Every structure is written in structure tokens, then in C-alpha cells.
Chains A and B, each alone.
Chain A
Amino acid sequence: MSAAAADDPRLGAIFAALSDATRRTVIATLLAEGEVSVPMLTERLPITRQAVAKHLATLDASGLVEPARGRGREVRYRLRPGALAPVSAWVREAETAWDARLARLKGAAEGAAG
């Protein structure tokens, strides 16, 4: 078995975490602003504080984010460094694989048609 990106044991948890539209928005906010907190996200998203906290817990469990102590008792979250690397690796690998499959298909279909 090759050391393929799809075999990365972190990938399943990351994909599961990213399958939710709200959690994608949280990640997008983190990429834009660096840190988020429960109060900040509750203000911006049409969901309850409890739901925000649950989404952040899921992202934390997937390894995508980590808590960072903010001012006072407020917990802020930031992207864990390198957390998206398995996703980037999977994308690059899948792109390469499809380029090869489509090139083979083009050759075979044009040969059969010509």
C-alpha cells in the first residue's frame, strides 16, 4: 500500500468536519480573521450559542482548530497550524489521478472514434 494522501488517518475526521456548511463558514472566518470566539460567531450566525459551541468542539476534535486563551475568561479558537495540509495533499493527489484518467480516456475514445 502506498503512502497515499487518501490513507492519511486525519482525512476522514477533517472531511466530516468540513461537510457542514456552518463549520465551513467558521473555517472561512478563521482564515479571514485569525481567531473566533463563541460570542463573536453567535452574533454573526443564525444559530444558538450552544450550536456554535458544538460546532467549535467538532472542529477541535477533528484537529482543524485549537483553543487559544483570549482576554478574560473568553476562549478563542484559531486554526491549528498545518491542519489543512492533509486536505491539500488529497486535492493534489486527486487532481493528478483525474488528469491521468482523463488523458487515457481521451486517447482511447479518439482512437476508437478515429
Chain B
Amino acid sequence: MPESAERVRREVLIEADPETVWEQAVRTEAWLDEETADELDVGEGFAVREEGRTREGVVEAADPPGDGRPGRLVWWWWEEHGPATRVEVLVVPSGPATRVVVVEDLPARGPVMAGAAWGPRLRGLRTAAVGRVVVPA
């Protein structure tokens, strides 16, 4: 099996600066829920609805772009009976434009279990992350 069999990678070039793309991604587009987007705390739990389906999730990392640095947003999400997957979004300056790269996959290492067991596990992770809060600049 290829290494990437259960990995999805998508990217798009957007004619806008990274800060604008980041704002649109985390707020207007509401990939996370509104409350989460306001704070973007590492370990923050959230729930999003999309096309009638609800996903719960938790933020693993949130570093907004700035001064030529790429932005990086990582979260885990899962549906009630589904497996948890990890989403990593990179917002990379590319001349006057911005490249957005998304990778969604299951973790390459570490304990992975069926979705039902993930909720409590990730809520524990949230508790453990207190004190490492990242606030958007």
C-alpha cells in the first residue's frame, strides 16, 4: 500500500495575502465554529455542521501567518461513529498570492481507535494543553 492511501492532500493558490486568507478560513468560512475561531486556543473543543452533518473536534495548533511566515492550523475531528482524522492547514505566502495546503489523514503514529473512544481521549488532551495557549496576533 502506498504511504498515502488514507491521506488526502489538496492545495489551492489564492490571489490574496496570507492574513486575509487566514481570516477568511478561520472565520468567514467557519471550518471551525465561531467561538473557536475567536480564540483559537490549543486544546479548544468545537463542533461544526456541514451539509447536515455534525463533526466534533479539537484544535491541536494555531499559528497565524505574519511577517512572511506561513500560518499553520491543525485540528482533529470526528463524527459520532466515525474515526478521528487530523487536518493540517498551511497558509503559505507565495509572491503576492497565498498557497493553501490541506492534508487530512489518520495519525502516522500513536494510539488510534474507533471514533467512539476519541471524545474522552481528546477532551483529556485539551486539559493537558492548558497553559500552552496560542492567541492570534
- CB under 8 Å from chain B, chain A span 15-47: 15-16, 18-19, 21, 24, 27-28, 31
Decide if the interface of chain A is mainly helix, strand, loop or mixed. Answer: helix
Per the bound structure, the CA–CA distance linking A53 and B29 in Å amounts to: 47
0/1 interface trace, chain B 96-123, chain A, CB 8 Å (1 if under)? 0010101010111110111110000000
- CB under 8 Å from chain A, chain B span 61-114: 79, 81-83, 85, 98, 100, 102, 104, 106-110, 112-114
Report whether A94 and B110 are in contact in the complex, using a CB–CB cutoff of 8 Å.
Answer: no
Could you say which of A12, A19, A112 contacts B115, with CB atoms under 8 Å apart? A12
CB of A95 within 8 Å of the partner chain: yes
Report whether A106 and B1 are in contact in the complex, using a CB–CB cutoff of 8 Å.
Answer: no
7 other contacts beyond A4-B53, A15-B83, with CB at 8 A cut-off? A12-B115, A98-B102, A102-B10, A103-B12, A105-B24, A109-B21, A110-B14
- 11 of the cross-chain contacts (CB-CB < 8 Å) are A8-B82, A12-B82, A16-B113, A18-B106, A31-B1, A98-B10, A102-B102, A105-B29, A109-B20, A113-B16, A114-B15
